[in-house]
Amino acid sequence: MSRLRNLSLFLVLAAAWGSAFVAINAGLAYFPPVLFAAFRFDVAGVVMLAYAAYAVDDPVPRGRDQWLEVVSGAVFIIAAYHAFLFVGESDPAVTSAVAAVIVSLSPVLTTVFARALLPAERLTAVGALGLGIGLAGAVVLANPDPANLTGGGTVAKLLVLLAATSFALGSVLSRASEADIAIETMEAWSMLLGAGLTHLLALALGESVADATWTTESLLALGYLSVVASGIGFLIYFDLLDRLGPIEINLVSYVAPVFAAAVGWLVLDEGITPTTVAGFLTICVGFALVKRDAIREELRAVGVAG
């Protein structure tokens, strides 16, 4: 029963996060991109703070170390990641599936940053090969035209790659922190502070609330991203992180693009190109090489448990 529960929650999480890319593309028809990202975490931050107040003894960060971890998450995981992602997805060449596949490079980049920044980690020759293959998958997806490097959505896809890089770096900085802070508290305050930073960026880019179009469709997209993908999604993520560990839960990044492609096709009539599939498979090979030892240990553990 426990395995069935974990599998069910895993698939729900993959579906929620995969379909979030579709909700972003749908909502971008009504909101300026960076402002849309800010609105998302205005709502999601309040939802997470309410949950933190219910779930933990002290839902407010205390001391310099805890606030530094909150700021790190706000800057890299919330503000930078989502600003790059939403601007990238505003280009019609970046379908939901393409964005999800590029973001699936995050676990590979996370491992690389960890081995570069954490003293106990080292990147072996095989790991470096895996990184190269994973990045090659991103290049396949970008599919640049040498005669027109700024055309065909190349710049937009590189922005999504920067989003994945920001998320990976923020994850490693959070892992390196020695602050003793509940994950619910950290996420809630990172979302709220990240929303404020994203609002400032939107203002600097000249985006205005007056440019937003408030319709049933736009509210549904915003509500889905804030409550389902962010609020409920992160709660499931935290639960599965405790039960499955970081290796298995990382695999959600490789299931989410399947849901992104399927929902994008059904809802937005987005096509799936051979380069999208090829890029996805190439990134999966890179992940397998970088994480080969951890995957081997996980398979042994599952075999013993079975």
Measure Cα distances from 21 to 5, 48, 127, 136, 208 in Å.
Answer: 25, 20, 29, 22, 23
**Residues sharing a CB contact under 8 Å with residue 242, sequence separation 6 or more, in sequence order:** none
pLDDT in 10s for each residue of the chain, 306 residues:
576 777 788 889 888 988 999 999 999 999 999 999 999 999 999 999 998 999 888 889 988 888 988 998 899 989 999 999 999 999 988 888 788 878 877 777 777 777 766 655 555 666 667 666 766 665 665 555 554 445 557 888 889 989 988 988 887 777 666 677 888 888 899 999 999 999 999 999 999 999 999 999 999 999 999 999 988 887 787 777 667 655 566 667 777 777 887 888 788 777 767 776 776 677 677 667 766 766 666 566 555 444
Block residue for tokens 């509500």: 223
DSSP lists the bridge partners of residue 269 as none
Q: Which pLDDT score is estimated for 306?
A: 44
Residue 3: alpha-carbon gap to chain centroid: 25
Q: Which pLDDT score is estimated for 304?
A: 44
Report long-range pairs for 234-237 (Cβ below 8 Å, ≥24 apart): 234/48, 234/187, 235/51, 236/9, 236/12, 236/13, 236/16, 237/13
Give the residue extent of every domain in the chain: 3-302
Q: Which pLDDT score is estimated for 144?
A: 53
| Torsion of Cα atoms, 203 then 206 then 208 then 213, to 10° | -130
Q: Which pLDDT score is estimated for 148?
A: 46
User: What 3 state SS string does the chain have?
Assistant: CHHHHHHHHHHHHHHHHHHHHHHHHHHCCCCCHHHHHHHHHHHHHHHHHHHHHHHCCCCCCCHHHHHHHHHHHHHHHHHHHHHHHHHHHCCCCCCHHHHHHHHCCHHHHHHHHHHHHCCCCCCCHHHHHHHHHHHHHHHHHHCCECCECCCCCHHHHHHHHHHHHHHHHHHHHHHHCCCCCCHHHHHHHHHHHHHHHHHHHHHHCCCCHHHCCCCHHHHHHHHHHHHHHHHHHHHHHHHHHHHHCHHHHHCHHHHHHHHHHHHHHHHHCCCCCHHHHHHHHHHHHHHHHHCHHHHHHHHHHHHHHC
Measure Cα distances from 6 to 12, 20, 183 in Å.
Answer: 10, 21, 20
Residue 111: alpha-carbon gap to chain centroid: 15
- Residue 32's closest CA among 204, 164, 190, 152? 204
Amino acid at 8: S
- Residue 135's closest CA among 106, 169, 93? 106
What is the Cα–Cα distance from 137 to 152, expressed in whole angstroms?
Answer: 17
The overall longest dimension of the chain from CA atoms, in Å, is 59
The model carries a pTM of: 0.80
Q: Which pLDDT score is estimated for 226?
A: 93
What is the Cα–Cα distance from 47 to 297, expressed in whole angstroms?
Answer: 36
Q: Which pLDDT score is estimated for 253?
A: 72
